[in-house]
DNA sequence: GAGTCTATGTAGCAGTCGCTACATTCGTAC
DNA sequence: GTACGAATGTAGCGACTGCTACATAGACTC
Protein backbone atom coordinates (compact mmCIF):
# COMPACT_ATOMS: atom_id res chain seq x y z
CA UNK A 1 0.00 0.00 0.00
CA UNK A 2 1.07 3.50 -0.70
CA UNK A 3 1.69 6.05 2.01
CA UNK A 4 -1.33 8.20 2.70
CA UNK A 5 0.42 11.55 2.43
CA UNK A 6 2.04 10.63 -0.88
CA UNK A 7 -1.27 9.48 -2.31
CA UNK A 8 -3.06 12.54 -1.00
CA UNK A 9 -0.51 14.80 -2.64
CA UNK A 10 -0.93 13.01 -5.98
CA UNK A 11 -4.70 13.36 -5.70
CA UNK A 12 -4.28 17.03 -4.87
CA UNK A 13 -2.27 17.65 -8.04
CA UNK A 14 -4.85 15.93 -10.22
CA UNK A 15 -7.67 17.82 -8.57
CA UNK A 16 -5.86 21.09 -9.19
CA UNK A 17 -5.46 20.25 -12.86
CA UNK A 18 -9.15 19.39 -13.13
CA UNK A 19 -10.38 22.53 -11.37
CA UNK A 20 -8.04 24.65 -13.45
CA UNK A 21 -9.37 23.12 -16.65
CA UNK A 22 -13.08 23.00 -15.80
CA UNK A 23 -13.66 25.76 -13.27
CA UNK A 24 -15.77 25.60 -10.18
CA UNK A 25 -19.01 24.45 -11.80
CA UNK A 26 -18.17 20.76 -12.19
CA UNK A 27 -16.82 20.15 -8.72
CA UNK A 28 -19.11 17.60 -7.13
CA UNK A 29 -17.27 15.05 -5.02
CA UNK A 30 -18.00 12.37 -7.61
CA UNK A 31 -16.73 14.56 -10.46
CA UNK A 32 -13.58 15.41 -8.57
CA UNK A 33 -13.02 11.79 -7.62
CA UNK A 34 -13.34 10.65 -11.22
CA UNK A 35 -10.85 13.31 -12.32
CA UNK A 36 -8.41 12.22 -9.62
CA UNK A 37 -8.78 8.52 -10.43
CA UNK A 38 -10.23 7.64 -7.06
CA UNK A 39 -13.60 7.52 -5.29
CA UNK A 40 -15.60 10.13 -3.43
CA UNK A 41 -15.21 7.90 -0.40
CA UNK A 42 -11.43 8.24 -0.59
CA UNK A 43 -11.54 12.01 -1.11
CA UNK A 44 -13.33 12.24 2.22
CA UNK A 45 -10.68 9.97 3.67
CA UNK A 46 -7.90 12.30 2.58
CA UNK A 47 -9.78 15.52 3.39
CA UNK A 48 -12.27 16.47 6.09
CA UNK A 49 -15.01 17.69 3.77
CA UNK A 50 -15.60 19.37 0.42
CA UNK A 51 -14.72 22.84 1.74
CA UNK A 52 -11.28 21.61 2.76
CA UNK A 53 -10.78 20.06 -0.65
CA UNK A 54 -11.59 23.30 -2.44
CA UNK A 55 -9.49 25.32 -0.03
CA UNK A 56 -6.42 23.14 -0.45
CA UNK A 57 -6.81 22.84 -4.20
CA UNK A 58 -7.35 26.56 -4.78
CA UNK A 59 -4.41 27.42 -2.54
CA UNK A 60 -2.24 25.07 -4.57
CA UNK A 61 -3.44 26.59 -7.84
CA UNK A 62 -2.75 30.08 -6.49
CA UNK A 63 0.76 29.03 -5.56
CA UNK A 64 1.27 27.56 -9.02
CA UNK A 65 0.13 30.79 -10.63
CA UNK A 66 2.43 32.84 -8.42
CA UNK A 67 5.34 30.62 -9.43
CA UNK A 68 4.37 30.98 -13.07
CA UNK A 69 4.34 34.76 -12.75
CA UNK A 70 7.67 34.82 -10.95
CA UNK A 71 9.19 32.56 -13.57
CA UNK A 72 7.91 34.68 -16.43
CA UNK A 73 9.28 37.90 -15.00
CA UNK A 74 11.91 37.62 -12.24
CA UNK A 75 11.63 40.25 -9.55
CA UNK A 76 15.27 41.22 -10.11
CA UNK A 77 14.48 43.45 -13.06
CA UNK A 78 12.21 46.45 -12.69
CA UNK A 79 10.27 47.84 -15.63
CA UNK A 80 8.66 51.13 -16.54
CA UNK A 81 4.87 51.07 -15.96
CA UNK A 82 4.02 50.94 -19.66
CA UNK A 83 6.41 48.05 -20.21
CA UNK A 84 5.16 46.09 -17.21
CA UNK A 85 1.59 46.53 -18.35
CA UNK A 86 2.49 45.31 -21.82
CA UNK A 87 4.19 42.24 -20.35
CA UNK A 88 1.26 41.58 -18.03
CA UNK A 89 -1.29 41.96 -20.78
CA UNK A 90 0.63 39.65 -23.08
CA UNK A 91 1.01 37.04 -20.33
CA UNK A 92 -2.67 37.14 -19.36
CA UNK A 93 -3.61 36.30 -22.93
CA UNK A 94 -1.32 33.27 -23.02
CA UNK A 95 -2.89 29.83 -23.35
CA UNK A 96 -0.93 28.85 -20.25
CA UNK A 97 -2.28 31.75 -18.22
CA UNK A 98 -5.88 32.00 -19.41
CA UNK A 99 -7.26 29.15 -17.27
CA UNK A 100 -5.87 30.88 -14.21
CA UNK A 101 -7.53 34.16 -15.14
CA UNK A 102 -10.87 32.48 -15.82
CA UNK A 103 -10.74 30.64 -12.51
CA UNK A 104 -9.68 33.85 -10.83
CA UNK A 105 -12.79 35.63 -12.03
CA UNK A 106 -14.91 32.77 -10.73
CA UNK A 107 -13.21 32.98 -7.34
CA UNK A 108 -13.60 36.75 -7.29
CA UNK A 109 -17.31 36.46 -8.10
CA UNK A 110 -17.71 34.01 -5.24
CA UNK A 111 -15.79 36.31 -2.93
CA UNK A 112 -18.08 39.19 -3.87
CA UNK A 113 -20.94 37.15 -2.41
CA UNK A 114 -18.91 36.50 0.73
CA UNK A 115 -18.85 32.74 0.19
CA UNK A 116 -16.21 30.71 2.00
CA UNK A 117 -13.54 29.73 1.22
CA UNK A 118 -13.43 32.07 -1.75
CA UNK A 119 -13.31 35.30 0.24
CA UNK A 120 -10.13 34.45 2.11
CA UNK A 121 -8.39 32.97 -0.93
CA UNK A 122 -9.37 35.90 -3.12
CA UNK A 123 -7.89 38.30 -0.58
CA UNK A 124 -4.61 36.42 -0.59
CA UNK A 125 -4.43 36.20 -4.37
CA UNK A 126 -5.25 39.89 -4.86
CA UNK A 127 -2.61 40.93 -2.34
CA UNK A 128 -0.12 38.65 -4.08
CA UNK A 129 -0.90 40.25 -7.42
CA UNK A 130 -0.36 43.72 -6.08
CA UNK A 131 2.90 42.83 -4.35
CA UNK A 132 4.10 41.13 -7.50
CA UNK A 133 3.51 44.25 -9.56
CA UNK A 134 4.91 46.53 -6.88
CA UNK A 135 8.16 44.56 -6.82
CA UNK A 136 8.59 44.94 -10.57
CA UNK A 137 7.80 48.60 -11.11
CA UNK A 138 10.69 50.98 -11.69
CA UNK A 139 9.14 53.86 -9.77
CA UNK A 140 11.11 55.61 -7.06
CA UNK A 141 8.35 56.99 -4.87
CA UNK A 142 6.80 54.27 -2.67
CA UNK A 143 3.27 55.65 -2.60
CA UNK A 144 3.21 56.32 -6.33
CA UNK A 145 4.54 52.84 -7.03
CA UNK A 146 1.86 51.24 -4.85
CA UNK A 147 -0.87 53.15 -6.66
CA UNK A 148 0.52 52.24 -10.06
CA UNK A 149 0.77 48.61 -9.01
CA UNK A 150 -2.89 48.71 -8.04
CA UNK A 151 -3.71 50.24 -11.41
CA UNK A 152 -1.88 47.42 -13.20
CA UNK A 153 -3.89 44.82 -11.34
CA UNK A 154 -7.19 46.62 -11.79
CA UNK A 155 -6.58 46.98 -15.52
CA UNK A 156 -5.41 43.42 -16.09
CA UNK A 157 -8.28 41.96 -14.05
CA UNK A 158 -10.80 44.12 -15.85
CA UNK A 159 -9.34 43.04 -19.17
CA UNK A 160 -9.45 39.40 -18.10
CA UNK A 161 -13.10 39.78 -17.10
CA UNK A 162 -13.95 41.40 -20.44
CA UNK A 163 -11.75 39.14 -22.56
CA UNK A 164 -14.59 36.81 -23.61
CA UNK A 165 -16.86 39.69 -24.62
CA UNK A 166 -17.02 41.38 -28.02
CA UNK A 167 -14.25 39.12 -29.27
CA UNK A 168 -11.84 40.62 -26.76
CA UNK A 169 -11.97 44.04 -28.43
CA UNK A 170 -12.88 45.98 -25.28
CA UNK A 171 -10.14 44.33 -23.23
CA UNK A 172 -7.58 44.90 -25.99
CA UNK A 173 -8.53 48.52 -26.62
CA UNK A 174 -8.68 49.34 -22.93
CA UNK A 175 -5.24 47.95 -22.20
CA UNK A 176 -3.91 49.66 -25.32
CA UNK A 177 -5.26 53.03 -24.26
CA UNK A 178 -3.76 52.62 -20.81
CA UNK A 179 -0.41 51.63 -22.27
CA UNK A 180 -0.42 54.84 -24.33
CA UNK A 181 -1.22 56.91 -21.27
CA UNK A 182 1.52 55.27 -19.24
CA UNK A 183 4.08 55.70 -22.00
CA UNK A 184 3.27 59.41 -22.14
CA UNK A 185 3.49 59.67 -18.36
CA UNK A 186 6.90 58.08 -18.16
CA UNK A 187 8.59 60.10 -20.88
CA UNK B 1 -58.45 35.42 -12.16
CA UNK B 2 -55.68 37.66 -13.26
CA UNK B 3 -54.49 37.79 -16.81
CA UNK B 4 -51.55 35.52 -17.44
CA UNK B 5 -49.30 38.12 -19.04
CA UNK B 6 -49.90 40.58 -16.23
CA UNK B 7 -49.14 37.99 -13.61
CA UNK B 8 -46.06 36.81 -15.48
CA UNK B 9 -44.75 40.34 -15.63
CA UNK B 10 -45.24 40.81 -11.88
CA UNK B 11 -43.42 37.55 -11.22
CA UNK B 12 -40.63 38.67 -13.52
CA UNK B 13 -40.12 41.86 -11.54
CA UNK B 14 -39.95 40.02 -8.24
CA UNK B 15 -37.55 37.48 -9.67
CA UNK B 16 -35.33 40.29 -10.90
CA UNK B 17 -35.27 41.85 -7.45
CA UNK B 18 -34.39 38.51 -5.88
CA UNK B 19 -31.60 37.67 -8.33
CA UNK B 20 -30.21 41.17 -7.98
CA UNK B 21 -30.13 40.83 -4.19
CA UNK B 22 -28.89 37.25 -3.91
CA UNK B 23 -26.92 36.57 -7.06
CA UNK B 24 -26.95 33.45 -9.16
CA UNK B 25 -26.16 30.96 -6.43
CA UNK B 26 -29.59 30.76 -4.84
CA UNK B 27 -31.62 30.34 -7.98
CA UNK B 28 -33.26 26.95 -7.71
CA UNK B 29 -36.81 26.93 -9.04
CA UNK B 30 -38.11 26.52 -5.50
CA UNK B 31 -36.03 29.46 -4.22
CA UNK B 32 -37.13 31.65 -7.09
CA UNK B 33 -40.76 30.66 -6.63
CA UNK B 34 -40.66 31.51 -2.93
CA UNK B 35 -39.14 34.90 -3.70
CA UNK B 36 -41.81 35.58 -6.30
CA UNK B 37 -44.65 34.50 -4.03
CA UNK B 38 -45.68 31.62 -6.23
CA UNK B 39 -44.82 27.95 -6.79
CA UNK B 40 -42.19 26.25 -8.91
CA UNK B 41 -45.09 24.68 -10.76
CA UNK B 42 -46.35 28.13 -11.76
CA UNK B 43 -42.91 29.35 -12.80
CA UNK B 44 -42.84 26.53 -15.32
CA UNK B 45 -46.30 27.55 -16.40
CA UNK B 46 -45.17 31.09 -17.15
CA UNK B 47 -41.81 30.09 -18.62
CA UNK B 48 -40.63 27.14 -20.70
CA UNK B 49 -37.82 26.10 -18.39
CA UNK B 50 -35.23 27.45 -15.99
CA UNK B 51 -32.94 28.71 -18.75
CA UNK B 52 -35.72 30.91 -20.12
CA UNK B 53 -36.38 32.27 -16.64
CA UNK B 54 -32.75 33.26 -16.15
CA UNK B 55 -32.53 34.71 -19.63
CA UNK B 56 -35.60 36.89 -19.23
CA UNK B 57 -34.71 37.98 -15.71
CA UNK B 58 -31.11 38.85 -16.53
CA UNK B 59 -32.19 40.77 -19.62
CA UNK B 60 -34.61 42.75 -17.48
CA UNK B 61 -31.94 43.48 -14.91
CA UNK B 62 -29.55 44.60 -17.63
CA UNK B 63 -32.19 46.98 -18.98
CA UNK B 64 -32.78 48.33 -15.47
CA UNK B 65 -29.07 48.96 -15.02
CA UNK B 66 -28.84 50.71 -18.38
CA UNK B 67 -31.74 52.95 -17.39
CA UNK B 68 -30.07 53.66 -14.07
CA UNK B 69 -26.85 54.66 -15.80
CA UNK B 70 -28.67 56.86 -18.27
CA UNK B 71 -30.60 58.53 -15.48
CA UNK B 72 -27.49 59.18 -13.43
CA UNK B 73 -25.64 60.79 -16.30
CA UNK B 74 -27.67 61.93 -19.32
CA UNK B 75 -25.96 61.45 -22.64
CA UNK B 76 -26.48 65.12 -23.46
CA UNK B 77 -23.46 66.27 -21.52
CA UNK B 78 -19.99 65.07 -22.41
CA UNK B 79 -17.21 64.93 -19.84
CA UNK B 80 -13.44 64.88 -19.90
CA UNK B 81 -12.04 61.33 -19.40
CA UNK B 82 -10.85 62.01 -15.85
CA UNK B 83 -14.23 63.43 -14.86
CA UNK B 84 -16.19 60.60 -16.43
CA UNK B 85 -14.00 58.05 -14.65
CA UNK B 86 -14.56 59.81 -11.35
CA UNK B 87 -18.31 59.79 -11.90
CA UNK B 88 -18.27 56.15 -12.96
CA UNK B 89 -16.14 55.11 -9.99
CA UNK B 90 -18.37 56.97 -7.57
CA UNK B 91 -21.51 55.44 -9.10
CA UNK B 92 -20.14 51.90 -9.05
CA UNK B 93 -19.57 52.22 -5.32
CA UNK B 94 -23.12 53.33 -4.66
CA UNK B 95 -25.37 51.08 -2.62
CA UNK B 96 -27.83 51.26 -5.50
CA UNK B 97 -25.27 50.18 -8.06
CA UNK B 98 -23.22 47.60 -6.16
CA UNK B 99 -25.66 44.70 -6.57
CA UNK B 100 -25.55 45.22 -10.31
CA UNK B 101 -21.76 45.13 -10.33
CA UNK B 102 -21.63 41.99 -8.20
CA UNK B 103 -24.13 40.25 -10.42
CA UNK B 104 -22.24 41.47 -13.44
CA UNK B 105 -19.06 39.78 -12.26
CA UNK B 106 -21.00 36.56 -11.74
CA UNK B 107 -22.41 36.77 -15.25
CA UNK B 108 -18.99 37.55 -16.67
CA UNK B 109 -17.48 34.56 -14.88
CA UNK B 110 -20.19 32.35 -16.33
CA UNK B 111 -19.59 33.81 -19.76
CA UNK B 112 -15.88 33.05 -19.47
CA UNK B 113 -16.83 29.37 -19.20
CA UNK B 114 -19.06 29.72 -22.24
CA UNK B 115 -22.20 28.82 -20.31
CA UNK B 116 -25.56 29.79 -21.81
CA UNK B 117 -27.33 32.14 -21.42
CA UNK B 118 -24.56 34.12 -19.76
CA UNK B 119 -22.32 34.42 -22.81
CA UNK B 120 -24.91 36.18 -24.95
CA UNK B 121 -26.13 38.45 -22.16
CA UNK B 122 -22.59 39.34 -21.13
CA UNK B 123 -21.80 40.36 -24.68
CA UNK B 124 -24.81 42.65 -24.80
CA UNK B 125 -24.07 44.22 -21.42
CA UNK B 126 -20.41 44.82 -22.21
CA UNK B 127 -21.27 46.44 -25.53
CA UNK B 128 -23.84 48.60 -23.76
CA UNK B 129 -21.25 49.73 -21.23
CA UNK B 130 -18.81 50.72 -23.91
CA UNK B 131 -21.41 52.60 -25.95
CA UNK B 132 -22.58 54.36 -22.81
CA UNK B 133 -19.08 55.61 -22.05
CA UNK B 134 -18.38 56.46 -25.67
CA UNK B 135 -21.47 58.67 -25.82
CA UNK B 136 -20.34 60.62 -22.75
CA UNK B 137 -16.68 61.25 -23.48
CA UNK B 138 -15.67 64.72 -24.64
CA UNK B 139 -13.01 63.50 -27.05
CA UNK B 140 -13.02 64.70 -30.63
CA UNK B 141 -11.22 61.84 -32.38
CA UNK B 142 -13.51 58.84 -32.88
CA UNK B 143 -10.84 56.15 -32.56
CA UNK B 144 -9.28 57.76 -29.49
CA UNK B 145 -12.70 58.11 -27.87
CA UNK B 146 -13.53 54.46 -28.49
CA UNK B 147 -10.25 53.38 -26.92
CA UNK B 148 -10.74 55.63 -23.92
CA UNK B 149 -14.28 54.32 -23.51
CA UNK B 150 -12.90 50.80 -23.45
CA UNK B 151 -10.36 51.87 -20.85
CA UNK B 152 -13.11 53.31 -18.64
CA UNK B 153 -15.02 50.04 -18.76
CA UNK B 154 -11.94 47.89 -18.21
CA UNK B 155 -10.92 49.97 -15.20
CA UNK B 156 -14.37 50.13 -13.62
CA UNK B 157 -14.95 46.42 -14.12
CA UNK B 158 -11.53 45.57 -12.72
CA UNK B 159 -12.24 47.79 -9.73
CA UNK B 160 -15.64 46.17 -9.23
CA UNK B 161 -14.05 42.74 -9.31
CA UNK B 162 -11.41 43.77 -6.77
CA UNK B 163 -13.72 45.83 -4.59
CA UNK B 164 -14.29 43.05 -2.01
CA UNK B 165 -10.57 42.36 -1.65
CA UNK B 166 -8.17 44.05 0.75
CA UNK B 167 -10.96 46.28 1.99
CA UNK B 168 -11.31 47.82 -1.43
CA UNK B 169 -7.87 49.39 -1.25
CA UNK B 170 -6.62 47.98 -4.54
CA UNK B 171 -9.72 49.07 -6.43
CA UNK B 172 -9.60 52.54 -4.89
CA UNK B 173 -5.88 53.05 -5.48
CA UNK B 174 -6.07 51.73 -9.01
CA UNK B 175 -8.91 54.03 -10.01
CA UNK B 176 -7.18 56.90 -8.26
CA UNK B 177 -3.96 56.37 -10.15
CA UNK B 178 -5.84 56.19 -13.43
CA UNK B 179 -7.73 59.39 -12.62
CA UNK B 180 -4.40 61.14 -12.03
CA UNK B 181 -3.06 59.90 -15.33
CA UNK B 182 -6.15 61.00 -17.21
CA UNK B 183 -6.15 64.42 -15.58
CA UNK B 184 -2.56 64.92 -16.66
CA UNK B 185 -3.33 63.70 -20.16
CA UNK B 186 -6.27 66.05 -20.62
CA UNK B 187 -4.68 69.22 -19.39
C1' DG C 1 -1.45 -17.51 13.88
C1' DA C 2 -4.12 -13.97 16.61
C1' DG C 3 -4.86 -9.29 17.08
C1' DT C 4 -4.70 -4.64 15.38
C1' DC C 5 -4.40 -0.73 12.49
C1' DT C 6 -4.67 1.38 7.82
C1' DA C 7 -6.61 1.63 3.32
C1' DT C 8 -10.41 0.85 0.31
C1' DG C 9 -15.02 -0.87 -1.50
C1' DT C 10 -20.19 -1.12 -1.14
C1' DA C 11 -24.35 0.67 -0.14
C1' DG C 12 -27.18 3.94 1.17
C1' DC C 13 -29.20 8.06 3.71
C1' DA C 14 -31.48 12.43 3.67
C1' DG C 15 -31.79 16.31 1.07
C1' DT C 16 -32.10 19.14 -3.33
C1' DC C 17 -32.49 19.55 -8.27
C1' DG C 18 -35.39 20.42 -12.69
C1' DC C 19 -39.40 18.90 -14.31
C1' DT C 20 -44.02 16.44 -15.04
C1' DA C 21 -48.49 13.76 -14.56
C1' DC C 22 -52.70 14.22 -12.60
C1' DA C 23 -56.31 16.40 -10.32
C1' DT C 24 -58.83 20.33 -9.09
C1' DT C 25 -60.81 24.97 -9.03
C1' DC C 26 -62.32 28.97 -11.32
C1' DG C 27 -64.25 32.22 -14.84
C1' DT C 28 -66.84 32.33 -18.80
C1' DA C 29 -69.93 31.16 -22.89
C1' DC C 30 -74.00 29.15 -24.08
C1' DG D 1 -76.86 24.57 -15.15
C1' DT D 2 -73.40 22.71 -18.23
C1' DA D 3 -69.53 22.43 -20.83
C1' DC D 4 -64.95 24.00 -21.54
C1' DG D 5 -60.52 26.07 -21.25
C1' DA D 6 -57.38 28.51 -18.36
C1' DA D 7 -55.12 28.71 -13.88
C1' DT D 8 -53.33 26.41 -9.87
C1' DG D 9 -52.39 22.70 -6.25
C1' DT D 10 -50.51 18.02 -5.01
C1' DA D 11 -47.46 14.61 -5.40
C1' DG D 12 -43.80 12.59 -7.05
C1' DC D 13 -40.09 10.89 -10.40
C1' DG D 14 -35.33 10.08 -11.37
C1' DA D 15 -30.98 12.16 -11.02
C1' DC D 16 -27.69 14.29 -8.28
C1' DT D 17 -25.68 16.30 -3.82
C1' DG D 18 -22.43 15.86 0.44
C1' DC D 19 -21.61 12.59 3.55
C1' DT D 20 -21.58 8.17 6.46
C1' DA D 21 -22.15 3.32 8.37
C1' DC D 22 -20.46 -0.97 7.63
C1' DA D 23 -17.64 -4.45 5.75
C1' DT D 24 -13.38 -6.12 3.90
C1' DA D 25 -8.63 -6.67 2.49
C1' DG D 26 -4.05 -6.23 3.40
C1' DA D 27 0.16 -5.05 6.32
C1' DC D 28 2.34 -5.11 10.73
C1' DT D 29 3.28 -6.68 15.79
C1' DC D 30 3.75 -10.07 19.12
Judge: A177–B148 Cβ closer than 8 Å, yes or no.
yes
The distance of A48 to chain B (nearest Cα, Å) reads 24
Cα-only R_g, chain B = 19
Return the CATH number of the domain spanning residue range B1-58. Answer: 1.10.10
pLDDT in tens, A125-183: 999 999 999 999 999 999 999 999 999 999 999 999 999 999 999 999 999 999 999 99
Closest nucleotide (C1' vs CA) to B52 is C18
For chain B, what are the domain ranges?
A: 1-58, 78-187
What is the per-residue pLDDT for B114?
A: 85
CA distance B19 to chain A (A): 12
Q: Inter-chain contact A25–B113, Cβ cutoff 8 Å?
A: yes
User: Is there a contact between B155 and A158 if contact means CB atoms under 8 Å apart?
Assistant: yes
Q: What is the mean pLDDT of residues A50-73?
A: 96
How confident is the model at residue B98, as a pLDDT?
94
Look at the pTM and tell me if it is higher than 0.95.
Answer: no
A4, pLDDT greater than 80:
no
Q: What single string gives the DSSP state of each residue in chain A?
A: ---HHHHHHHHHHHHHHHHHHHTTTS--HHHHHHHHTS-HHHHHHHSSSHHHHHHHHHHHHHHHHHHHHHHHS-TTS-B-HHHHHHHHHHHHTSTTTHHHHHHHHHHHHHHHTT-TTHHHHHHHHHHHHHHHHHTTB--SSHHHHHHHHHHHHHHHHHHHHHTTGGGGHHHHHHHHHHHHHHHHHH-
Q: What are phi and psi of B79, to 5 degrees?
A: -115, 160
Q: Are B109 and A108 an interchain contact pair (Cβ–Cβ within 8 Å)?
A: yes
Q: pLDDT-based confidence at A20, cuts 50/70/90?
A: very high
Q: Binning pLDDT at 50, 70 and 90, where does residue B31 land?
A: very high
**Strand D-proximal residues, CB under 7 Å?**
A 1, 27-31, 40-41, 44, 49-51; B 1-4, 7, 38-42, 45
With a pLDDT cut of 70, the percent of chain A lying above it is 98
| Average pLDDT along chain A | 94
pLDDT of A187 > 60? The answer is: no
Distance, in Å, from the CA atom of A23 to the CA atom of A184, rounded to the nearest integer, reads 39
User: First-to-last CA distance in chain B?
Assistant: 64
CATH of A1-75, one of 3.20.20.100, 1.10.357.10, 3.30.420.80, 1.10.40.30: 1.10.357.10
Residues in chain A with CB shorter than 8 Å from the CB of B139 are none
Amino acid sequence: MIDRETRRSEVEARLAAHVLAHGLSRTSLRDLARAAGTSDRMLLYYFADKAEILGVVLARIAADMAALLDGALPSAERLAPADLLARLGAMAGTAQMRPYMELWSEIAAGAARGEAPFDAIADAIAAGFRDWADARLAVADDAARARLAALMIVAVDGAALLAPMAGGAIARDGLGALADLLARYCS
